[in-house]
Structure 1
Amino acid sequence: MLLVVLLLVTSCGVAAEETVTVLGPWDPGGKEGKAFLATLDRFTRDTGIEVRYRGVRTVNAILRLSDLAGSAPDVAVLSSPAELARYARAGRLARLPRDPGVQERQYLALDDPARPYGVVVKTDLKSLVWYDRTVGTAAAAPFTSFADLVERGQQVRARGGVVPWCIGVKSGAESGWPGTDWIEDILLHLYGADAYERWARGDLAWTSAEVRGAWLAWHRLLETSGMLTQSRTMLLTAWNEHPPTPCAMEHQASFLRPQGWGVHPFPGDNSAVSVDVAGLFHDRPAARRLLAFLASRQGQQEWTGRAGGGFFSPRTDLDRAAAYRGDDIGLLVANRLAGSSRCLDGSDFMPQAVGTAFATAVLEFLADPRAEALDGILGRVEEVRRSVPPADWLRDACS
């Protein structure tokens, strides 16, 4: 972490007016990072402005260190709108001027819609269920309801030979988040966007009938498919790995695409999405130009083309048919993102303390997956919710 901070310090001191420093979550050596670097190269060719990018998985930690050292990058891209909002409240972010080339749906604002603190540059669809085409599962047909989803798991279990669901929640210090995705989708699809919005902005208690009902529904799905006997395995399996026993279906976002698998949208008209949102830490013309380019139709189309179907835009005006030609799954995801009612990932949208308590609750639940233990688990998260000042909550998760 210190090395990255030093690199940021060094890069900030060279040709400051025509060099922009960027901190983001994409590994420069990986597919996503290479696509992003190629997009930055296009910006440099068009403008003559050099961009120096540092890609790390621990963006939040690096950003806090660099901020303390007075060496924050010009632009930082985070996967947590709430974390970026914390910098805005502290006065560390420049409020963004409205740009005619950026769609309204890309901006995130606090108390003043006219002065957004961040712009969404990338998005992923969370509301997906992947299925293995090779094991003859009962998941080949689209799901019509959550009850249908539960029944398919029962059918796979009855046939035997494979585990119905692939579930792993291990993710280092962020372990538990794949389980939070389950709860978010279930709550959204069983109780609707209004209940989800109240919950995400801190107005719906964790002990409410809706939130408790979502957890009990997940418990029912796991129990009827025989997965509760696998709860220890879930805790020890990484989010991007499958357990030793073959599994038939997986609830996972568009950024994890199992090779050769098919996919269906999670049942319902609403979709949960995760976003990568960029903020401006140094209000310089070159940095503003880069941010506007990354969010623009030109920049997003360039990024999409470079990523080879692995990038999904928050914009609605891209040529999706051309971008995902020959990629039916990519086109399905892109159309769903552009056309469905969308709600931001709840654990990313909530204050960090609540999001952390949410992930911890998933780990506690899987360690002791008894329905009667749930009230105590949710009560502890509710205590955290009540301790967070109202001003720390974001609004409009589903707008």
Structure 2
Amino acid sequence: MSAVAVASLSLTATACGGGSGGDPNTVTIWSSIDQPVQDGLKKALEAKIKAGGDKITIKWQKVENINQLIITKIQSGDTPDIALVPQPGVVTQMNKLGAIKPLDSAVDMSSLQSSMMPGTLDAGTIDGKLYGLLVSANVKGLVFYNKKDWAKKGYDASSVTDFASLEALAAKMKANGDTPWCFGIESDTATGWPATDWLETLVMKQAGADAYNSWVSHDTPFDDAVVKSAGQEMEKLLFGSGDVLGGIKSATSTNFGDAGTPMFDSPAKCEMLVQGSFITGFFPDTVTSDLDANVGVFGFPPATAGGENPVEGGGDLLTMLNDSSQVKKVVGYLSETDIGNDAAPSSSFFSPHKDFDTSLYPNQVTKDEADYAYNSSSFLFDGSDSMPAEVGTGSFWKEMTAWISGQEDLDTALKNVQDSWPSS
């Protein structure tokens, strides 16, 4: 699940109006991205417009819960020229409504194919045409730890090269009297989504990108053996006595944003937290005041050392609802690698372009995240964000919660999600 979606679940859409108001030189953009990211992207965009000699005015509006808002506005005929949406499933829905235009003629496809992280273009491609282009990304399946605590105890992130070595590290921690995992899945009406991220990461690491995509698109049943195997690995890591702070069942009442806080207690109460790149914003101020001194991060390892190593992520996909020449120019500018140059140093912006200048990122933690993502075998979009809403933000969240709370076993949870998949 995207950080934007998490933040806006309980918010009411506040935007009104849309379109360029009849002025062909005004291009309207809607997004729900963080304000500092939006400000940086807009600054770079306006600089490109000025340098190109274009007479274009940008009206960029931050709206809440754009996933729901944009569909409502499409149905009422009141839309922006460009919308950045955080779910591929919404892009598909917008396309079914006939509301968006292919981006292929507005961007340099050959340049994007060499610049973008492998797999990112696939997230917005429908029937061979690009309808959604990732502009701002986030990375998931990251393992965060207390750098000072690990240095004192002799735990070594570089030793983790596969599932076996991760299991061995966790066993060593338990033998030393430490609790390996911080884990929380409570998120108000969205409770369960961190568990879906865990399972998705394990599916892709064990079975590979093709099998993961087949599962997300439901060409492979939800309760297939590849998913069950990932769930069994999750049980091996998290469900044993002493694996999770407070025990696995406590995760259902531990808020995802608070789950990592005990990692920075003295002494540390848990040693590792698997989360997305956005989670550092939830760490205590005493930690974030000097992030690089306090926080270490590495990517969840492949199942076997040197094997296929995809990364899970999400982000904001650009869609074009008006294909005027002015709008196409703006789309072209937003597709360029350096569009994030102003946003990166002063915000949570993460570029989907693997040739982005990583020296612009504000800290080593983000640079390490980028090193992991840009060197992965492929970037795979968050599965629950890509599935039908009844599943991705419905039964998947619910059944993972029931499994973790001990109300159901793994087989039952997976079968229930499979049975909930819409027939069309």
1:112 corresponds to which of 106, 127, 140: 127
Q: Evaluate the alpha carbon distance shift between residue 5 and residue 179 of structure 1 in structure 2; reply closer, same or farther with a 3 A threshold.
A: same
How far apart are residue 204 of structure 1 and its match?
1.6
Is 1:277 equivalent to 2:317 in the alignment? yes
Amino acid at match of 2:386: F
Separation (CA, whole Å) in 2 of partners of 1:172 and 1:21: 33
Q: Tell me the TM-score normalised to structure 2 length.
A: 0.79
Contact 2:67 2:86 in 1 (8 A): no
Is 1:319 equivalent to 2:336 in the alignment? no
Partner of 2:93: 86
2:164 corresponds to which of 147, 150, 160: 147
Gap runs ≥5 in structure 1: 390-399
Q: Secondary structure at the match of 2:84?
A: strand
Contact 1:85 1:110 in 2 (8 A): no
Deviations 1:345-366 (A, max 9, x none): 2222222222122222221112
Partner of 1:218: 234
The number of residues matched between the two structures is: 375
Alignment of 1:323-338 (within 5 A): 323-324=360-361, 327-338=363-374
Partner of 2:112: 103
Is 1:368 equivalent to 2:406 in the alignment? yes
Q: Evaluate the alpha carbon distance shift between residue 17 and residue 264 of structure 1 in structure 2; reply closer, same or farther with a 3 A threshold.
A: same
Q: Evaluate the alpha carbon distance shift between residue 209 and residue 39 of structure 1 in structure 2; reply closer, same or farther with a 3 A threshold.
A: same
Partner of 2:416: 380
Contact 1:169 1:235 in 2 (8 A): yes
Q: Evaluate the alpha carbon distance shift between residue 388 and residue 305 of structure 1 in structure 2; reply closer, same or farther with a 3 A threshold.
A: farther
Alignment of 1:253-264 (within 5 A): 253-257=276-280, 258=283, 259=291, 260-264=294-298
Is 1:267 equivalent to 2:267 in the alignment? no
- RMSD over aligned CA atoms reads 2.7
Contact 1:131 1:140 in 2 (8 A): no
Amino acid at match of 1:94: K
Q: Secondary structure at the match of 1:199?
A: helix
Partner of 1:347: 384
Task: After superposing the two structures, state which structure 1 stretch, 265-274 or 162-171, moved more.
Answer: 162-171
Contact 2:133 2:317 in 1 (8 A): yes
> What's the % identity of the aligned pairs?
25
Separation (CA, whole Å) in 2 of partners of 1:346 and 1:118: 16
How far apart are residue 73 of structure 1 and its match?
1.7
Alignment of 1:151-170 (within 5 A): 151-160=168-177, 163-170=179-186
Q: Evaluate the alpha carbon distance shift between residue 302 and residue 103 of structure 1 in structure 2; reply closer, same or farther with a 3 A threshold.
A: farther
Contact 1:5 1:65 in 2 (8 A): no
Amino acid at match of 1:193: A
Partner of 2:139: 125
How far apart are residue 138 of structure 1 and its match?
6.1
Amino acid at match of 2:252: L
Separation (CA, whole Å) in 1 of partners of 2:183 and 2:55: 47
Q: Secondary structure at the match of 1:120?
A: strand
Contact 1:200 1:350 in 2 (8 A): yes
Alignment of 1:5-44 (within 5 A): 5-6=15-16, 9=17, 12=19, 14=21, 16-28=23-35, 31-43=36-48
Q: Secondary structure at the match of 2:133?
A: strand
Q: Evaluate the alpha carbon distance shift between residue 280 and residue 185 of structure 1 in structure 2; reply closer, same or farther with a 3 A threshold.
A: same
How far apart are residue 3 of structure 1 and its match?
6.5
Deviations 1:65-86 (A, max 9, x none): 3223321221111111121111
How far apart are residue 40 of structure 1 and its match?
4.3
Moved over 6 A (4+): none
How far apart are residue 306 of structure 1 and its match?
4.9
Amino acid at match of 1:304: A
Contact 1:76 1:279 in 2 (8 A): yes
Separation (CA, whole Å) in 2 of partners of 1:3 and 1:214: 37
1:252 corresponds to which of 262, 269, 275: 275
Gap runs ≥5 in structure 2: 1-10, 263-268, 284-290, 303-308
How far apart are residue 236 of structure 1 and its match?
2.5
Amino acid at match of 1:250: L
Amino acid at match of 1:375: D
Separation (CA, whole Å) in 2 of partners of 1:138 and 1:256: 25
Separation (CA, whole Å) in 2 of partners of 1:167 and 1:264: 17
Q: Secondary structure at the match of 1:335?
A: helix
Separation (CA, whole Å) in 2 of partners of 1:41 and 1:177: 36
Q: Evaluate the alpha carbon distance shift between residue 380 and residue 94 of structure 1 in structure 2; reply closer, same or farther with a 3 A threshold.
A: same
1:135 corresponds to which of 149, 168, 172: 149
Deviations 1:278-307 (A, max 9, x none): 101222322222222111123233443453
Q: Tell me the TM-score normalised to structure 1 length.
A: 0.84
Q: Evaluate the alpha carbon distance shift between residue 238 and residue 40 of structure 1 in structure 2; reply closer, same or farther with a 3 A threshold.
A: farther
Partner of 1:292: 332
Amino acid at match of 2:132: G
Partner of 2:258: 241
